[in-house]
Amino acid sequence: MDQEKMKLISELEVTMRMFIRDFRKEMNEQLGDGFTSSDVAFLRIINESSNQNVSTLASTLNVSKSHATSVTDRLVEKELITRERSTSDRRVIVLALTDKGSEVLTHLEGIREKYMQKRFEPLSKEDLKELIRIYSLLSSEEE
């Protein structure tokens, strides 16, 4: 690989790290009330799919089981989700959204949507499509 390309790759790495750091920080500031973007992702997945347990949730979100346990503990403590025994297999504990969790998710999704619109407003539809195309090329589903 030539030197110029390596230099550009290094610059891209720094730029991506800065963007991701700033993006997470801004998103978490927007959510407020002690909520994180992880909380929103967990609530969304639990809401969309019944019979989620910590292991499947961790796998779906590509995080460690210990992280998934930590987040779900926090969400249970906030009374946003419950842990219940599965009706089909009493050994399995499934996660479910509470009414309060559903209301909070709706509220947080509204905040997230407004933030995303504002954050990506400078980009045209074509720019967004190009970013998706490029990231798709770099993304590796087979690893």
Q: What is the pLDDT of residues 49-88, one digit of tens each?
A: 877 889 999 999 999 999 999 999 999 999 999 998 878 8
Cβ(64)–Cβ(108) below 8 Å = no
Let me know if residue 112 belongs to a domain. yes
| 21 is a domain residue | yes
DSSP letter string, 91-105: T-EEEEE-HHHHHHH
Number of domains in the chain: 1
pLDDT at 122 (0 to 100): 96
Residue 125 forms part of a structural domain: yes
This prediction has a pTM of: 0.78
Residue 14: inside a domain, yes or no? yes
State the Cα torsion 125-131-132-138 to the nearest 10°. Answer: 170
CATH, residue 67? 1.10.10.10
Residue 143 falls within a domain, yes or no? no
Domain-located, residue 74: yes
> Domain of 13?
3-138
